[in-house]
């Protein structure tokens, strides 16, 4: 029988503390691995079982849905519970799971590979004050191009083939992080219609020639750039679609870009 108050004399306190830390750390890893599955899970697999396509979530399993309150009203649920069921305009090159996909249509429009985009909300992103975040400068008169910089308005937009596609008519700015995000371009060559938005990050300024060069797509491909519903605003979904179209051109704009050079 142990003497009174002599329990610690028979226990290695440091070892118990170490074991407690290990248990805590294991629980923390389990919790974090579950929480990071609120976005992007479950994964879709090419494999099928008796119940249909195999759903991959791994260990630990996905957490129960949680609702988050948005700053400007409404809620957001994660995991969303709404799997992406868009028809895939591509076919596998081989019969085994995970085989590379070959587009069956126009991959830059169909959202294949680098032209893929997320199904974000089809509504404008907002500033902290509740105003649309990305707008043309005609809607944000408090923005202006510094006199020390080149003003892209009036410059010719040139595609990867060296041919002109249009003229920059307006600049779209980010009200939250002041910067130019898109070049509103009026198309030439009979394309007509509503102007298209060209991502500023994928354009290169040639001040000597007064040109904005876009190396990701060809001049005639500007006509297929996704348009915005609102001439003075852009939604999150439209922003992703436009950026994905230009990014996809880096692989799909010409047949020579599709396969390795060696």
Q: What is the pLDDT of residues 148-181, one digit of tens each?
A: 888 899 999 999 999 999 999 999 999 998 899 9
Place of tokens 């001049």: 219
Q: Say whether pLDDT at 238 is over 80.
A: yes
Q: What percent of the chain has pLDDT over 70?
A: 90
pLDDT, the chain, mean: 87
CATH architecture of 134-257: Alpha-Beta Complex (3.90)
- Top pLDDT among 92 and 81 is at 92
- Top pLDDT among 50 and 226 is at 226
Provide the pLDDT for residue 43: 79
Provide the pLDDT for residue 102: 86
Could you report the per-residue pLDDT of 5-60, keeping only the tens digit for each? 555 566 778 888 999 999 999 999 999 999 999 888 887 776 666 566 677 888 88
Provide the pLDDT for residue 4: 59
CATH number (4.10.540.10, 3.30.70.260, 1.10.10.10, 3.10.20.30) of 12-85 reads: 4.10.540.10
Structure tokens at 60: 């630990």
Structure tokens at 254: 């010409």
For the chain, the structural domain boundaries read 12-85, 134-257
Q: Say whether pLDDT at 1 is over 60.
A: no
Q: Say whether pLDDT at 225 is over 80.
A: yes
Could you report the per-residue pLDDT of 94-136, keeping only the tens digit for each? 888 778 888 888 899 998 889 998 888 889 999 988 899 999 9
Q: What are 173's strand-pairing partners? A: 135, 180
Provide the pLDDT for residue 12: 79
């Amino acid at each position: 029988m142990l003497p009174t108050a002599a329990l610690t004399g028979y226990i290695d306190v440091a070892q118990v503390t170490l074991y407690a830390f290990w248990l805590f750390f294991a629980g923390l890893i389990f919790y974090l691995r579950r929480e990071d599955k609120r976005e992007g899970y479950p994964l879709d697999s090419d494999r099928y079982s008796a119940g249909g396509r195999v759903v991959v979530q791994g260990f630990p399993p996905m957490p129960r849905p949680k609702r988050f309150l948005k700053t400007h009203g409404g809620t957001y649920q994660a995991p969303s519970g709404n799997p992406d069921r868009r028809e895939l305009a591509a076919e596998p090159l081989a019969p085994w799971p995970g085989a590379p996909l070959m587009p069956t249509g126009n991959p830059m429009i169909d959202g294949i590979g680098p032209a893929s985009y997320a199904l974000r909300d089809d509504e404008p992103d907002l500033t902290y004050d509740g105003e649309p975040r990305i707008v043309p400068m005609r809607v944000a008169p408090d923005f202006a191009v510094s006199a020390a910089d080149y003003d892209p308005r009036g410059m010719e937009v040139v595609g990867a083939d060296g041919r002109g596609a249009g003229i920059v008519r307006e600049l779209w700015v980010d009200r939250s992080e002041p910067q130019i995000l898109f070049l509103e371009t009026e198309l030439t060559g009979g394309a007509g219609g509503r102007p298209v938005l060209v991502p500023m990050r994928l354009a290169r300024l040639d001040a000597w020639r007064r040109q904005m060069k876009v190396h990701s797509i060809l001049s005639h491909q500007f006509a297929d750039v996704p348009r915005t519903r609102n001439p003075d605003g852009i939604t999150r979904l439209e922003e992703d679609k436009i950026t994905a179209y230009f990014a996809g051109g880096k692989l799909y704009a010409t047949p020579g870009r599709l396969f390795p050079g060696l």
